[in-house]
Amino acid sequence: MQARSTYFFIALLLLCQWSSAQTGLLNDSFATGNTYNWKAVSAGSTGQIINGQFVITPAPASGKYRGDFQKTGGVTFHAGAYPIVAIKMNKPPRCNFFFDTNLGSYNGANNNATKIASATGNIYYWDLSTGKLGTTVLSTTSPTTLSLFQFKIADIVYTQAEIAANDISYEIDWIKTFASVAELRAAVGVTNPPSFSFTGQFAHPGLLHNAADLQRIKGFVANQYGRPYQSYQLLLASSRSSASYNMAGPFQSLTRDNSLTVNGVPGGTVKGGVESDFLAAYYNALMYNITGNEAHALKATQIIDAYAATTVNIIGADAELNGLYGFMLANAAELMRYTYSGWSPQKQEQAGAMLRSVFYPVLQNFRPCGHGNWDIICMKALMAIAIYSNDTTMFNRVVNYFYHGEGNGSIDNYVLTAAGQLQESNRDQPHTMLALGSLAELSEMGLKQGVDLYAASGNAIMRGYEYTSKYNLGFTVDYQTAYDYCEKNYADYTPEAISPNGRGSFRAVFEIAYNHYVYRKGLQMPYTLKVMNVMGPEGAPFGADNPGYGSLFFYLNNAPDHPIDTTALPVDTTLGLINDNFTTTADGWAAVTSGSTATVQNGQLVITLVTQSNGKKRGDVKKTAGASLFTPNYPILAIKLKKPAAVNLTFDTNLGAYGNGANKWTGKVGEDVYYYDLTRVGFGPGPQFLSTAAPTTLSTFQFKVADVSSGEASYAVDWVKTVKTVADLENLVPHIAQNISFDPLPAALLGDTARQLGAVASSGLPVAYTSSDTTVAAVVDGVVTIKQAGTTTITASQPGDAAYLAATPVVRTLTVSPLHVTVQHLDGDQGAIANNSIRPYLQLVNEDTLAVAYGELTARYWLTAENFAGINTWIDYAQLGNSKVAMKYVPLSVPRAGAYGYIEYAFDPSAGILLPGNTSGPIQSRMANTDWSALQETDDYSYANNTAYAGNSHITLYRNAVLVWGEEPAAAAPQVMVKAWSSAQSSGQQTISTYLTLNNEGNMPVAYGDLSVRYWFTAEGAAPLNAWIDYARLSSSNILRSFHAVTPALAGADQYLEIRLNPALGNLYPASSTGNIQYRIAKSDWSVFTQANDHSYTAPAPLAVNDHITVYYKGELIYGTAPGAELLTNSGHQQATNTADKTDISTAAQQQVVLFPNPATGNLNIRLGKPEQGAQVQVYTLKGQLLLKQRITGTSHTISLQGLPVGMYNVEVRNGTMVTTKLVFKN
């Protein structure tokens, strides 16, 4: 018994251990077909498993796309047992990517996954043992249960081609946890790279300069040797190389974040001070070795000691970029430690301790998800600290990361192609130069320790230099589309093209690489040589990004200067080009003055003015990113602005103001264009002129608009441009005055014919016209057309062109007088409203003071022509003469209230004129259907039971097609409504005999060829079926019939007889019928039918409506009940659901398509039960012309019909195998 208890205890213990070991294990692989409770959660997005992957289709969100996905029910992690959370997915390249939980996102930020590129796709992972969720550090000894676990995929940017192709989905293979990164890499088949291990002793000084380098530099200066000495003179001129340099710091904290303060000092000031101080320490350390003046050594060690004793941390955004300063300080300390005996060992160790405690914690993990130069900055700073500290482990980590790091800065991730394209080539050019210089500096330090990083990946750094040099010199380079950037930075990149930003703005980073590869290794770098020919001796760096002065520090040539490459450089016409037009955006310009705003309005940048302490107003405007000017290409800078009347206008830069003052523009073109000749006047008090050898990048580029005392609240800038000549400006800007001659307009009479306006511009340019009231008169192409009585002003204008200024508009008044001619009417039928003719008797009465020609007049009698078969018309008597009045029937394309058409009365010009106060005399007219079928007058718009001549405003009168009397009927909503009437002639036996009539009870003509009718019945057997047309008013030969099986059979129907009509019959008009169609159905063996159970059968009775005989228009059910379907009401149109239409009844509910509203005015809404992949909607004219096509991605979709004219349209919805066509009316 005791043994069994022991065994049970051991088994229970093992079970608990196994259960504990499984806690935190996640293994959600969608290859199994299981969703593991993952779902798409962004509004409008969808998620489903397709081919073993979870496929997310993001939805539009704030101009971009979003497709988050979430594990329902949350998850349990164990940061000790399974700290690595990984996802294998085909992630959109341009997006913001979050690992998010109810505790917050990983490390409180986005886009911080580490990527592993496997042979079958990318894996992204996070380490819960080293990172936080929000601000929470997860326990490594017990599990953590999260109620929310999701991945946010936000701010997705797709190309237009991707959107057009609906290629906006992404796929997830799995989400898993692992015990280690090594286990993850093994699981995905990615082997660990070989590990570098440094086995030697560190050489000192051994960062950028060793003892031999220092002796060489000292010799260059002592002998005033060529290019190096010229570079030395530039160094000597810098205040940072002076032994009397005034230190800005030290600062307790280092930061680049201007939103923070350090002991009351703004972060931007701290950044600038640290850059200057650390460079001063480095430059003074070098100056001590060059000159032997101990004052420089004392200055260098003073700065190092001050910061070593004071600085405790790095704070704020972009913390890793502070590695630039750690690199400089370590170089200064290395030089002092091994060349100046006056610096005590205690101070040396204090400096090392500060480098390790302040910089190492921030830089130790590099920056794998960031711009590549961030990784490289971390590497060069860490290597400098490692060598100074004799830290082999740190040194090995840097070298291993350089070769195999997963971030964008490792050598093969930064130099992407054999041509030398760089990871940041499609970002901008200055950052590629920062990164190249830093890679060379990293390699130079490695070389001092016997490790040749310069040679890595086939001299990759040299290839990057040559590629960048070639492009920035103006040459074309090979470019491959690249998405090699951290997702959070996608807005900074142009994946499909190399970036021209900063092109030609060379930095002092080229000497170090050129001297190594050409003079040490005997290789060729022709484009880098061209760059150095253009630049001359290298001077100061940009900020503290690199050491600078490379022509002194790294020069290895035996000759005083590099060889001169005389090959002509291509002319890059983009260098120095500024063309900011503010058509839709501010083009990078912003208001500078506190309280001022800059907004784009109607193609102008409008800047508000703010009152200053002197009582005057100010509103400076600045190009935030600065600008690049290159006078050989574009020597003229111009701005077009409506400047305040009293103002001081200054073109200002970081070099100083143009002409060193306000209002110093070179000249003016036209009214509002001010230009500056960049070759004639310099900047600041010097003055400093712009280089003609290379573009000049100006970090400050602004116009100061100050001391405004003329009362304006704002001013507007049209554009800022650079051009080659003043003549180019004159071609851009109108500068010649013009005027318009426009005679007064004579008065018009309603119905006057259109007339040509005669305004003339002195420039000869065409004159444009506008009418203040287009309901009175409209002007098109200089021709004014009278619309109705009233007054309008016609404005003649000429906007000018490239040469002419806009003319002052001229305004003329046009008065249109009404024409007082009325129509009187008498009912010639004497109240008979339902017979086979209509007899309107008309008389025109001229109550005006002006005569009017009969030939200019027409009248319209509006009616609904029932049983339409064509209309015959007669003038039975006219006092003017029967031959002087002509009648014709005109059908309407869009119905009106009380009218499907109208009878037009036209008068022959030979009838003469209708004098004032006279009448036309009686005009006795008559009209009838060509087959003399009945007409009903009570619903006719123009009908009135007048027993004597009296005014009838429903009979309209026109002069030259302009309404002068009466009121036209209002437009009516188009409606197609055709009903089936039937009468059964037998109740069984061997034949089904039916009389059928189709009545058009809508208000639109319906083409006979578009109609079909189905009589549903049961055949009671398999014998072949026959059908005969015994009689048809339309002629038996025009009635087409066919039988169709219903499979599977439905209640009351296993067959239907389909009747179609010959399209040659034309149209079935409103309030008309087909007349009787008598048909019979029989089986070939003349066996008996049982009609009582037939869906369409009714007992023998007179002709009556039968809603079980279905009517179709263009294939769409418009009347009746099909077997198994609900009755379709005439308030809308819905696709019939029946097996004869090949619709799967079991899926009908989920496939249902609803369109509303119908009729539609603006937008048409589409609702689907379940959208399938590739669902789409198409809109056609009734003639089959495709007008619109859109993809449907959700259960609700809206299309705009705004641009379509009033009428009927076929709307086709394709959803999987289901095709639904509906007739929609556009009002």
Structure tokens at 108: 């409180």
Instruction: List, for residues 272-310, the tens digit of each pLDDT value.
Output: 999 999 999 999 999 999 999 999 999 999 999 999 999
Neighbours of 1222 (CB within 10 A): 21
pLDDT > 80? residue 1219: no
3-state secondary structure 899-957: EEEEEEEEECHHHCEECCCCECCCEEEEEEECCCCCEECCCCCCCCCCCCCEECCCEEE
Structure tokens at 754: 């259109």
pLDDT of residue 805: 84
pLDDT of residue 775: 94
Q: How confident is the model at residue 1183 (pLDDT cuts 50, 70, 90)?
A: low
Please, what CATH class does the domain formed by 821-965 belong to?
Answer: mainly beta
pLDDT of residue 803: 81
- The average pLDDT across 177-183 equals 92
Question: Which residues are within 8 A (CB) of 236 and not within 5 positions of it... i.e. 6 or more apart?
Answer: none
φ/ψ (deg, to 5) at 1051: -60, 115
φ/ψ (deg, to 5) at 355: -60, -40
- The average pLDDT across 899-925 equals 96
Structure tokens at 429: 């050019």
Region 1144-1227: CATH code? 2.60.40.3080
pLDDT > 90? residue 542: yes
Q: Cα–Cα distances in Å, from 622 out to 638, 643, 689? A: 14, 16, 21
Specify the 3-state DSSP secondary structure of 16.
helix
Strand segments (E) across 241-314: 253-254, 261-262, 265-266, 313-314
Instruction: List, for residues 348-379, the tens digit of each pLDDT value.
Output: 999 999 999 999 999 999 988 789 999 999 99
Residue 1126 is given by DSSP the state P
Instruction: List, for residues 848-870, the tens digit of each pLDDT value.
Output: 999 999 999 999 999 999 889 89
Structure tokens at 713: 């609240």
pLDDT of residue 42: 93
Rounded to whole angstroms, the Cα distance separating 919 from 934 reads 33
Specify the 3-state DSSP secondary structure of 452.
coil
For residues 418 and 460, the answer to whether their CB atoms sit within 8 Å is no
- Asked if the domains at 973-1141 and 1144-1227 fall in one CATH topology, the answer is yes
Residue 860 is given by DSSP the state E
Looking up tokens 């790279």, which residue turns up? 193
Instruction: List, for residues 5-31, the tens digit of each pLDDT value.
Output: 544 444 444 444 444 457 899 999 999
pLDDT of residue 733: 78
pLDDT of residue 987: 64
Peptide bond into 250 cis (omega under 30): yes
Question: Which CATH number among 2.60.120.200, 1.10.150.170, 2.60.40.710, 3.40.50.2300 corresponds to the domain 973-1141?
Answer: 2.60.40.710
Helices 294-310 and 267-291 cross at an angle (nearest 10°) of 150
Rounded to whole angstroms, the Cα distance separating 819 from 774 reads 19
Please, what CATH class does the domain formed by 23-187 belong to?
Answer: mainly beta
Q: How confident is the model at residue 256 (pLDDT cuts 50, 70, 90)?
A: very high
What ranges do the domains of the chain cover? 23-187, 211-553, 579-732, 747-815, 821-965, 973-1141, 1144-1227
Q: Cα–Cα distances in Å, from 367 out to 135, 430, 768? A: 20, 19, 62
Q: Is 1051 exposed, middle or buried (0-12, 13-18, 19+ CB in 10 A)?
A: exposed
Residues in the chain: 1227
pLDDT > 80? residue 1031: yes
Q: Average model confidence (pLDDT) for the chain? A: 90
Rounded to whole angstroms, the Cα distance separating 24 from 111 reads 23
For residues 220 and 511, the answer to whether their CB atoms sit within 8 Å is no
Instruction: List, for residues 240-254, the tens digit of each pLDDT value.
Output: 999 999 999 999 999
Residues of the chain above pLDDT 70, percent: 95
Q: Is 112 exposed, middle or buried (0-12, 13-18, 19+ CB in 10 A)?
A: buried
Q: Which of 25, 148, 144 is nearest to 84 (CA)?
A: 25
The architecture that CATH gives domain 211-553 is Alpha/alpha barrel (1.50)
Structure tokens at 214: 């220092």
Terminal alpha carbon distance of the chain: 92
pLDDT > 50? residue 1146: no
Q: Which of 653, 322, 694 is nearest to 502 (CA)?
A: 694
Rounded to whole angstroms, the Cα distance separating 483 from 160 reads 17
pLDDT of residue 1204: 83
What residues form DSSP beta bridges with 90?
171
Q: How confident is the model at residue 1206 (pLDDT cuts 50, 70, 90)?
A: confident
pLDDT of residue 485: 56
pLDDT > 80? residue 744: yes
Triad 702, 708, 709: Cα angle to 5°: 175
Instruction: List, for residues 85-115, the tens digit of each pLDDT value.
Output: 999 999 887 888 889 999 999 988 887 888 8
pLDDT > 50? residue 899: yes
Rounded to whole angstroms, the Cα distance separating 205 from 336 reads 9
Specify the 3-state DSSP secondary structure of 784.
strand
Instruction: List, for residues 431-451, the tens digit of each pLDDT value.
Output: 999 999 999 999 999 999 999
**DSSP H or E segment with residue 870:** none
Q: How confident is the model at residue 1128 (pLDDT cuts 50, 70, 90)?
A: very low
pTM: 0.50
For residues 824 and 949, the answer to whether their CB atoms sit within 8 Å is yes
pLDDT > 80? residue 202: yes
Rounded to whole angstroms, the Cα distance separating 633 from 579 reads 14
For residues 1182 and 1217, the answer to whether their CB atoms sit within 8 Å is no
Structure tokens at 219: 């010799």
- The average pLDDT across 31-49 equals 94
C-alpha 615, offset from chain centre? 45
Peptide bond into 695 cis (omega under 30): no
Alpha-carbon torsion, ordered 1119, 1121, 1125, 1128, to 10 deg: 40
Triad 72, 73, 76: Cα angle to 5°: 120
pLDDT > 50? residue 767: yes
Q: Which of 206, 325, 304, 307 is nearest to 256 (CA)?
A: 325
Neighbours of 243 (CB within 10 A): 18
Instruction: List, for residues 597-642, the tens digit of each pLDDT value.
Output: 999 999 999 999 999 999 999 999 999 989 999 999 999 999 999 9
3-state secondary structure 183-229: HHHHHCCCCCCCCCCCCCCCCCCCCCCCHHHHHHHHHHHHCCCHHHH
- The average pLDDT across 552-579 equals 87
Residues of the chain above pLDDT 90, percent: 73
pLDDT of residue 569: 67
pLDDT of residue 1142: 31
Q: How confident is the model at residue 988 (pLDDT cuts 50, 70, 90)?
A: low
Please, what CATH class does the domain formed by 579-732 belong to?
Answer: mainly beta
